[in-house]
Amino acid sequence: MTTHPNTPAGWYADPQGTPNLLRWWDGAQWTEHTHPGQPGQVPQQQAPVADPAKVQRQVQQQAGVAPVHAGGGTLFSEPVLVVNQKAKLIELTNEYSVFDQHGRTIGSVVQVGQSTLKKVARFVSSLDQFMTHKLEIRDAQGQPHLVLTRPAKFIKSKVLVTRPDGQPVGEIVQQNAIGKINFAIQVNGQQIGAIKAENWRAWNFAIVDHTDTEIARITKTWEGLAKTMFTTADNYVLQIHRQLPDPLLSLVVATALTVDTALKQDARGFG
């Protein structure tokens, strides 16, 4: 197929002529994303493959996180999680890959239940922040472990965290709307921790327990304070300082993995 700038984004026959191979055209250029199949088919969306060496370099050099002992290989047993926004093959849908410190994929965060109308509103305006969002935190096999719902809000954000069967885990509740943004981590109305944005623009977050002791930290890996928006090359790192009990562990992971999606969207103007 011959493409030109007016060709809509989609899967098309590989321009290099490889038989039974589709390649993603992003609306302006061919990308590296391919999928076996015939033109006209809609293949399953493929996750871009991470470069493990690049992830390790970002974690150690740019985020300043020294290599630590390996964990159990899951979202809830690794001491370091690396979160990367995927190349958006289907635009306007939030999706993130989660790696361990060595660049191995161990999970994902996927926005679910988003209507076409919501996507359009998100594209044309900032109304997105006033709509209900739902995210699933999934393991490497695609099985959901936590579901996060951010009800529509106007001033302060609240995120409800549940198990896939609907059993409540806790809530992440915004404490203030101006100045340094802080979120309380709550279970049954009792605060068991908090996430503190020391400098939202610089992407430094401390996560503390109920005694105000730091138990985890979120650090960006990209350079430059002015650059607060993701590109597909940008990762951020969660380092958990010690083994945490549940439900605190689940809520720390939920908070960290959705900090840009569920929490940050309303805070673009705050330092």
What does the pLDDT average to over 163-172? 96
Query: Is pLDDT at 12 greater than 80 in this prediction?
Result: no
Half-sphere exposure of 255 (CA within 13 A, CB side): 35
Burial of 61 (0-12, 13-18, 19+ CB in 10 A): exposed
> Which alpha helices (H) appear in 94-200, and where do they start and end?
116-124
pLDDT of residue 158: 85
- Sheet of 10-13: strand order equals 10-13, 21-25, 30-36
- 205-253 confidence digits (pLDDT tens): 899 999 999 999 988 776 554 444 444 456 789 999 999 999 999 999 9
Q: What is the pLDDT of residue 236?
A: 85
Which has more confidence, 5 or 24?
24
The answer on pLDDT for 196 being more than 70 is: yes
Strand partners, 97: 84, 108
The domain spans of the chain are 1-46, 52-266
What residues form DSSP beta bridges with 174?
A: 183
Structure confidence at residue 103 (pLDDT): 86
- The rounded distance, in Å, linking the Cα atoms of 160 and 112 is 15
Within 10 angstroms of residue 105's Cβ, the number of other Cβ atoms is: 18
Distance in Å from the first CA to the final CA of the chain:
48
Across 69-78, 243-252, 261-270, which has the greatest mean pLDDT? 243-252
Nearest-angstrom CA–CA distance, 154 and 118: 16
Backbone angles phi, psi at 62, to 5 degrees: -85, -40
Most confident range (mean pLDDT) of 61-70, 78-87, 99-108 is: 99-108
Rounded CA-CA distance 175/197 in Å is 11
Distance separating alpha carbons of residues 146 and 169, to the nearest angstrom: 9
Mean pLDDT in residue range 130-146:
85
Q: Which of 52-56, 164-168, 207-211, 241-245 has the lowest mean pLDDT?
A: 52-56
Query: What mean pLDDT, rounded, does the chain reach?
Result: 75
pLDDT band, very low/low/confident/very high, at 152 (cuts 50, 70, 90): confident
In this structure, of 47-61, 81-95, 168-182, 210-224, the range with the lowest mean pLDDT score is: 81-95
Radius of gyration of the chain (CA): 19
Q: What is the pTM of this model?
A: 0.71
* Predicted pLDDT at 253: 95
Task: Name the CATH superfamily, with its identifier, for domain 52-266.
Answer: LURP1-related (2.40.160.200)
What is the structure's pLDDT at 202?
A: 58
